[in-house]
Structure 1
Amino acid sequence: MKNYEKKSLLTTTFLFFIPLISFAFIVLYMYHQDRIKYIKENILYQMKDYTFDFQSDKFSLDIVEYSDKKETFKIYECDGGLCAYFKTPSKNPYLLKVIYDKNKYEKVYNDFLMKIFKFSIVIFIFILLISIAFAMYSIRPMKEAVNLLETFLKDLIHDLNTPATSILLNTKLLRRKGDFKEIERIELSAKTISSLYKNLEFINPQQIIKDEEISLKELIDNKIELLEKLYPRVSFEKLQDDLTIKSNKNAVDRIIDNLLTNACKYNKKNGKVIISIENNSLIIEDTGVGIKDTNKVFQRYYKENENGLGIGMSIVRKLCDILEIQIDIRSEVQVGTKVSLTFPK
């Protein structure tokens, strides 16, 4: 099950479970109160029977003076347990006080609590299973829609590659006949489409082989050469030495491409992108608009403005996890963003 499916299942289960379990606890509480009342009334009637023959060992007896505050045939909670007052057969100013031992009552009450606890466990499990079943049924339309979308994306990826490759090949052929600015613009647009195609290829990355020696300086220089043409108002400052890592070249290329493109795309006019290498880390820093919520930036389709598709950073996160690259983002709105990539040694 995919992460978004797990999240939807948990959320929907929670929404079903909480109202149902709340209702169940209200019913159980009412049952508890009613049952305690029944137990006490049953003890009261046993006390009344006891006053006729005094033959039961459940109760103890005392004689107290009559008082208006001592209502007869009503159960009270006394120090010794439960007690009730009854009139004596003769007309004298005394009442019979029948006492039900506290320990005996606690045993009856605890036995009842154990039964209701076991019943509550059964109800809890039943409601949980019902909630999960409802949740799974409820998210089925969403799963079908997402599967349809992913199938569409796969078809789109397949169909996007052919025209992009064809445009790039034809622009190279046209350059042989003459070098025009219009040809360069077409080539840059085709490379942008090609970059989008490569992103879509990695939208659901699986196992990636990490067995290639990669020069980060070479990758970065190639990216900057293209980005300088796409974003002429952004300047680049390279402070890095070369760093060679062992990983997957296409995957690392996608990570750096997305980070550098974002640093340019969301930069200010005449902004700057600073690229440096410290120890085993690649640092990309810009003077752009910043990120409002760095916790959400890796969520698929999350966007803070109308630009882009909202998939680039989610791809970066997935590829970093697969390649065991530690990524850290620090950003301040209207000041800039700093992204650090720490590669495994």
Structure 2
Amino acid sequence: MLKAFLLLFISLEVLLIIILYLYYQNQVIRLKNEIFLELKNYSYTLKGKDFKVDIVSNSPDIKFYQLYNSDKEFYIYVPIPSIKDEALKIIYPAEKVDKEISKIKKQVLIIYVMSTLIIAFVSIVFASYSLNPIRKSIQIIDNFVTELIHDINTPLSSILINLKILKKKYDDEEISRIETAAKQIGSLYENMLILSKEREKIQKEVDLKKLITEEVEVFKSNYPDIKIALYLEDKKIKADESALKRIISNLLMNAFKHNVKNGHIYITLTDDYLEIENSSRPIKNPDRLFERYYRESPRGLGLGLTIVKKLVDELGYRIMIKTTDNSFIVRLYFKKGGQSHPED
């Protein structure tokens, strides 16, 4: 909405400034014409107290009954009957010139302020109205997601249960791969579930080293060409296990999915933070990575990091993103306080 507002507001402001500039110039021309008529009328009778009269030497450069002006005054030259060497210089008072110019400027300023307020109001209304179709589209998507997750849960649960039964009968690598893929679908289901409703937050002690190792194993078999290095210290933390699992799963999914061929992932866990570094193509807009539905590539829904930010903020942690031309680093600080923010 801000971009739509600024686009219209700035465009109308530029147009307004141009119009007011032309209006100001027109008013100054009108003032000069009025002053000239007053000076000319005064020259016929020389009656009045507001004008100043001076006698100057006549010269070829002087043109009679033509308006001249300096910084603060306007004047005309008038011939003196029977005297060729001298002329009258009739001066319009400088105080009146300043007063009239000030009135014009004040009038222009009032018009500018009032017009700007009207433009701001119109821009807000237009921006709000123009974004209505987008809001409706997002609402339709959200409703679709809500309905979809209810339909996914039952068949997904059935697939996982039957895969466990098959694994007991047949120790087959292909079955394991299918199970891994089903778990990834389950991960997407959990993501959509978080967006569709409020979660029940249950605090318990979580073994982060174990949780990270288990989540890595879920993705490992589907990305055999990616080199994985783990540098994990023992770390237990009291938190919402479901939220932590979603955060770690989404960060790992992002690291695996948006990696390069024969790339790497380095995962470091210390007492203060979790860091995941992966090889990556250059990121175009690092400041938009947490936006809902924003994607740097056609792959994915643009929800993973949005959910990460939502959960990180709920837990009161901090998350930092750093990008280079060939790497993507995300660091999650467990110390409470602060807001999530991308950095490049």
TM over 0.5: yes
> What is the number of residues matched between the two proteins?
335
Q: Does 1:16 align with 2:47?
A: no
> How do residues 91-240 of structure 1 correspond to structure 2 at under 5 angstroms?
91-203=83-195, 209=201, 211-240=203-232
Per mean C-alpha deviation after superposition, the further-off stretch among 295-304 and 136-145 is 295-304
CA distance in 2 between counterparts of 1:51 and 1:141 reads 69
SS of the residue aligned with 1:92? strand
Q: CA deviation at 1:68?
A: 2.6
SS of the residue aligned with 1:151? helix
Aligned to 1:320: 312
Letter in 2 for 1:76: Y
Q: CA deviation at 1:197?
A: 0.7
Closer, same or farther: CA 12–289 of 1 in aligned 2, 3 Å: closer
Closer, same or farther: CA 278–185 of 1 in aligned 2, 3 Å: closer
Q: Deviations over 1:277-329 (max 9, x none)?
A: 2341111223x334433334333344344433332122223322333322222
> How do residues 273-284 of structure 1 correspond to structure 2 at under 5 angstroms?
273-284=265-276
Q: Is the 8 A contact 2:72 2:98 kept in 1?
A: no
Q: Is the 8 A contact 2:52 2:92 kept in 1?
A: yes
Closer, same or farther: CA 41–31 of 1 in aligned 2, 3 Å: same
Q: CA deviation at 1:80?
A: 5.9
CA distance in 2 between counterparts of 1:213 and 1:100 reads 89
SS of the residue aligned with 1:282? strand
CA distance in 2 between counterparts of 1:130 and 1:269 reads 51
Q: CA deviation at 1:124?
A: 1.2
Aligned to 1:331: 323
Q: Is the 8 A contact 2:233 2:271 kept in 1?
A: no
Closer, same or farther: CA 253–40 of 1 in aligned 2, 3 Å: same
> How do residues 69-108 of structure 1 correspond to structure 2 at under 5 angstroms?
69-78=61-70, 81-108=73-100
Q: Is the 8 A contact 1:228 1:235 kept in 2?
A: no
Q: Does 1:309 align with 2:306?
A: no
Question: Aligned match of 1:49 in 18, 41, 44?
Answer: 41
Q: Is the 8 A contact 2:62 2:77 kept in 1?
A: yes
Q: CA deviation at 1:100?
A: 1.9
Letter in 2 for 1:29: Y
Q: What RMSD, in angstroms, separates the aligned Cα atoms of the two structures?
A: 2.6
Per mean C-alpha deviation after superposition, the further-off stretch among 307-316 and 176-185 is 176-185
In structure 1, list runs of 5 or more residues that go unmatched. Answer: 1-8
Closer, same or farther: CA 267–149 of 1 in aligned 2, 3 Å: closer
Q: Is the 8 A contact 1:75 1:83 kept in 2?
A: yes
Q: CA deviation at 1:92?
A: 3.3
Q: Percent identity?
A: 35
CA distance in 1 between counterparts of 2:323 and 2:69 reads 65
Aligned to 1:261: 253
Q: CA deviation at 1:53?
A: 3.6
CA distance in 2 between counterparts of 1:327 and 1:251 reads 14
Closer, same or farther: CA 151–278 of 1 in aligned 2, 3 Å: same
CA distance in 2 between counterparts of 1:169 and 1:137 reads 49
Q: Deviations over 1:200-250 (max 9, x none)?
A: 223467688474432211211221232233333444333222223333222
TM-score by length of 2: 0.86
Q: CA deviation at 1:21?
A: 2.6
TM-score by length of 1: 0.86
CA distance in 1 between counterparts of 2:18 and 2:121 reads 20
Q: Deviations over 1:12-47 (max 9, x none)?
A: 223323333332222222221111111122122222
Q: Is the 8 A contact 1:208 1:248 kept in 2?
A: no
In structure 2, list runs of 5 or more residues that go unmatched. Answer: 337-344
